[in-house]
Structure 1
Amino acid sequence: MPPIGIFGGTFDPIHFGHLRLAEEMAEAAGLERVLFIPAGQPPHRRTPRTAAAHRLEMVRRAVAGNPRFEVDAREVNSPRPSYTVDTLTELRAELGNDQPLWLLLGADAFLDLTSWHAWRQLFELAHIAVAARPGAQLLKTETIPELLRNELSQRQVVGGPVAGPAGSVLLRQMTPLDISATAIRETLARHGSVRYLLPDAVLDYIHEHQLYARHEN
């Protein structure tokens, strides 16, 4: 049964760093498809500046043309806060207990995993693929919280096939693309250029709806 990737986030806005992470981790884990799931009400962060409907549409435009990428709007459509454990539980119920699932995370998110709601349960629901981005000291043991380090020591896989539907952790360095949504928002607010940091279709949508522009009183 081909594995499926799960990639969540605020995507405010989605950019080439997100897309490249999904592409490289899909290859590393042999994923048949990757579900992009924009957060509706993320409980771990401040409310996204951009409305969920806009963020969802930007993701749809960004992944168009890649047959391996799909968009899942369940968190945007939910009235509840978007806990990853709940989303994975729903997907597991829909896809069955034997379906291999991979939760795709950047290094920063992985290192903060112990602060997530019911974080240990994530390993029961999916494998976790972690992409180290520029500046992330992911592979240095001293940077990993002790509780997470203990899980990693038991679950990390190095080469070879991964057995079962859940429970393993795969670490991979990805192509250096030091792009951040925060920097994109700040650049747009001062009317700077962000071309070549995100897909043209997303940038066109941003301009069309005047997202991230600083409005003077």
Structure 2
Amino acid sequence: MEGLFRKGVKIGIYGSSFDPITNVHLWTASTVAHRKKLDFIIFLPSSTKRRDKLMQTEDTHRIKMAGFAIEKNEKFILDDYEMNVLPGEHYTYYTMEYFKDILPNAEIFFIMGADLLVDIGAGQWTKAEELISNNKFIVMARDNIDLLGTIAKSPLLRNYDDGRFQMLDKGLAMEISSTYIREEFARGGEPRYLLPDSCYQYIKEHHLYKTQRS
């Protein structure tokens, strides 16, 4: 998309397992784009090669479902970058460096939930300081997490609290998770209206989530 390369464009990187992508993912991305005046949101499905996440479905299925889900929104873009890098290079720091390199004219933000900010502040992410010191973030509120307190309690976060953390409270508690949807499919439930219809049909057609991995 040509607009990605124009000077001053604002882009959010939205990484997740998307296993499967849900209506809440789409609503969240739309809300962030609207509130923070972003021009584009890049959806970045995590690879099964990652060591910190256990995916329920293969990369190809999750990529296809994400593509179906966002195809009618011109602000939403799908990128399979993480599917193509070597194991050990899936850390968010490297991902952000990649996008800054290919989109040098853009202002780029990493979109994440407050729970992830807590983990980063506690030193649980690889190359955490490099990630924090070199990037900007849009942090979505989560119930029972004090965002300002999280920053204040972490030496890493508070020493980079110069405006790079943009807080966003969606104003509506919509927290239906991919885990919940997988569980419903595995138990013969009916989560049809929690995810895009094209994705629901794809899951049924390919018999996904019939069982839950432990």
Q: Give the alignment's TM-score, normalised by structure 1.
A: 0.84
Contact 2:115 2:145 survives alignment (8 Å): no
Instruction: State the partner residue of 1:48.
Output: 55
Aligned letter for 1:108? D
Whole-Å separation in 2 of the counterparts to 1:37 and 1:214: 25
Aligned letter for 1:171? M
Give the secondary-structure state (helix, strand or coil) at the position aligned to 1:130: strand
Instruction: State the partner residue of 2:28.
Output: 21
Change (3 A) 1:34 1:58: same
Give the secondary-structure state (helix, strand or coil) at the position aligned to 1:4: strand
Instruction: State the partner residue of 1:161.
Output: none
Q: Could you list the runs of 4 or more consecutive aligned residues of structure 1 that deviate by over 3 angstroms after TM superposition?
A: 142-145
Shift of 1:21: 1.4
Q: Give the alignment's TM-score, normalised by structure 2.
A: 0.85
Give the secondary-structure state (helix, strand or coil) at the position aligned to 2:14: strand
Change (3 A) 1:80 1:124: same
Of 98, 122, 135, 1:90 maps to: 98
Instruction: State the partner residue of 2:3.
Output: none
Aligned letter for 1:99? A
Whole-Å separation in 2 of the counterparts to 1:211 and 1:181: 13
State, as a whole percentage, how many aligned pairs show the same letter. Answer: 31
Tell me the matched-pair count.
Answer: 200
Unaligned runs of 5+ in 1: 157-167
Contact 1:5 1:103 survives alignment (8 Å): yes
Instruction: State the partner residue of 1:196.
Output: 193
Provide the aligned C-alpha RMSD in A: 2.0
Which range is displaced more, 140-149 or 55-64? 140-149
Equivalent positions of 1:29-108 (< 5 A) are: 29-40=36-47, 41-45=49-53, 47-81=54-88, 82-96=90-104, 98-108=105-115
Question: Are 2:182 and 1:173 aligned?
Answer: no
Aligned letter for 1:62? A
